[in-house]
Structures are given as structure tokens and as C-alpha cells.
Amino acid sequence: MKTVDNAQLEAIYRTRFDDKAQIQREKMWQILCSDWMQRYIPQNATVLDLAAGRCEFINHIKAGRKIAVDLNEDVRNYANQDVEIVIAYSHDMQGVGDNSVDVVFVSNFFEHLPDKAAFMDTLKDIRRVLKVGGKLLIMQPNIRFLHGAYWDFIDHYLPLTDRSVEEALILTNMRVIENLPRFLPYTTRSKMPRHPLLIRAYLRLPIVFPIFGKQAWVVAVKPE
């Protein structure tokens, strides 16, 4: 199956995220990193951001070594100077060594893969680059709670739920240690608080996740 190419993707993202929306996304990611994701990542860790895109995560997370993997050369325009760039497919991360990464982070990417075979191959290569005991952090739209809205974006191909993601991880010999079926709202256009203080309050009140959450949060470990 042929998917949207890089030039089309960049055009889509420019339309989807204008300058004002991008500024808001940067503020949101800064808080997501400091108030949620940093707890999973030691500050001396080697962290890989797969399908890094505009590098909102990898630019804001604290880590000893930062790697951004993307197929689109435009990632170079967004990464901070302390971020290493690897241009590669998600299922064949040439340039990233075996057992060399402490944490792999993947956000809103798997739905863009053309089929389940590509998804499984990507998980296998993630496992290859992870150290024993290394973590995979996944933030993923959960079609179980989205129904038709999942297909509102032209570049979505692969339907996934928290359950299918967990099963795929088990099949690739990863151990799931956390699975929140409902975490964040679906998009930045959703009814999520946008003021920094309100975003922080949301993250500190998991009791509200089932009300607004349409994305899953899954954490898996590479076992011995």
C-alpha cells in the first residue's frame, strides 16, 4: 500500500498546525515532558524519539543523549542542537546500534503505518535498539473510543486500540507494565485545558482521564 509521501505530509502538517497552533503545541509538550514523561526517563538516559516530526518531545525532555529518528529530512529544521538526527525507516533504524537505547518514545505514529506487518516490524526494531530493561513509551490514538473520528485525518491508515497494541508488544517479547486506555484527549483541538496551569492540573488528576481521554498511554519493558 502506498501512503502519503514526505512532501504531502509536510503540506498536511503546515495546514493542520499553523504558527499559532504550533506555539500552543510547544507549550503543551513542555508541560507533558516535565510533568508526566520525565518520571519514566532518568536524566542521564539515552532517549530515542521515533518519528520525531517537529521534535516537540525530544527538544523538551531531559536526557544524557537524545536521538531523533524520522524519514523526513525536515526534522533537521526542528531539532535542537543537542539532538542527534537519524534519517531512517521505523522498521529499519540504520545508524542506531543494537542494545544502545534506554528509552524509546513513540507518539501518534503507529496509525500512520500502512499495515500490521509494518507495525510488527517496527516493534521488532524498537526491541533491537533497546537495552535490556529499557522502556518503550507509547502515546497512541485509541480507536476503541474514537469510532469514525479516527479517520478524520487523511494520513491515518492503521486502526489500533490499547488492547491490540498490548498484544503486539507481547508477541514481540516486550513486557507491558502500564496501560492506560484513556490518557489525553484525541487532538489539541479537543476539549483539553490549554492554560499551562490547567494542563498541569489535568495530569495530576487521573480521575478525569476517563472523561476526556481518547489516546492510550502504554509502557513496555524489554525483559532479560
Q: What does the pLDDT read at residue 155?
A: 86
Q: What does the pLDDT read at residue 153?
A: 84
Q: Which CATH superfamily is domain 6-221 in?
A: Vaccinia Virus protein VP39 (3.40.50.150)
Cα–Cα distance, 40 to 61 (Å, whole number) = 11
By C-alpha distance, which of 164, 66, 75 is closest to 111?
A: 164
Cα–Cα distance, 99 to 15 (Å, whole number) = 38
| CA 37 vs CA 30, 41, 159: distances in Å | 10, 7, 25
Question: What residue ranges do the domains of the chain occupy?
Answer: 6-221
Cα–Cα distance, 193 to 179 (Å, whole number) = 23
Q: What does the pLDDT read at residue 1?
A: 42
Mean local confidence (pLDDT), 149-170: 93
How confident is the model over 67-78, as pLDDT tens digits?
A: 999 999 999 999
Q: pTM here?
A: 0.89
